[in-house]
Amino acid sequence: MSDAATGPTDAPRYRVAVLPGDGIGPEVTEAACSVVEAAGQRFGFEVTWQRLVVGGAAIDAHGVAMRPEDLLSCEDSDAVLLGAVGGPRWDDPRASVRPEQSLFMLRGGLGLYANLRPVRPLTALMDASPLRRELVADVDMLIVRELTGGIYFGERREATGPPGKREAVDTVPYGEHEIRRVVRLAFELARGRRRLVTSVDKANVLATSRLWRMIATEEAAASVGTRLEHRLVDSCAMSLVTRPADFDVVVTENLFGDILSDEASVLVGSLGMLPSASLGERRTRYGTFGLYEPVHGSAPDIAGQDVANPLGAILSAAMMLRWSFGREDAATAIERAVEAVLDAGYRTADLTDVRRGHDLAETLLGTAGMVTRVIDAVTASTSGRALETVR
Q: Which positions are catalytic?
A: 152, 202, 234, 258, 262
How many Cβ atoms sit within 10 Å of the Cβ of residue 253?
Answer: 28
Report helix angle 207-222 to 176-190, nearest 10: 40
In DSSP terms, 4 is beta-bridged to: 48
Asked if residue 153 lies in contact with residue 173, where contact means CB atoms within 8 angstroms, the answer is yes
* Cα angle 169-172-176, degrees, rounded to a multiple of 5: 160
Cα–Cα distance measured from residue 145 to residue 258, given in angstroms and rounded to the nearest whole number:
7
Asked if residue 318 lies in contact with residue 335, where contact means CB atoms within 8 angstroms, the answer is yes
C-alpha separations of 73 from 17, 29, 146 in Å: 7, 18, 24
Closest CA to 261 of 233, 242, 231: 233
Strands 79-84 and 288-294, bridge-based pairing: parallel
Ramachandran class of 384: left when φ > 0, alpha when ψ lies in -120 to 50, beta otherwise: left
Report helix angle 328-343 to 311-323, nearest 10: 160
Cα–Cα distance measured from residue 47 to residue 97, given in angstroms and rounded to the nearest whole number:
33
Residues with Cβ within 8 Å of 283's Cβ and at least 6 positions away in sequence, in order, are 289
Instruction: Please report, as a single letter, which amino acid is at residue 148.
Output: T
Burial label for 161, CB within 10 Å (0-12, 13-18, 19+), is exposed
Asked if residue 55 lies in contact with residue 86, where contact means CB atoms within 8 angstroms, the answer is yes
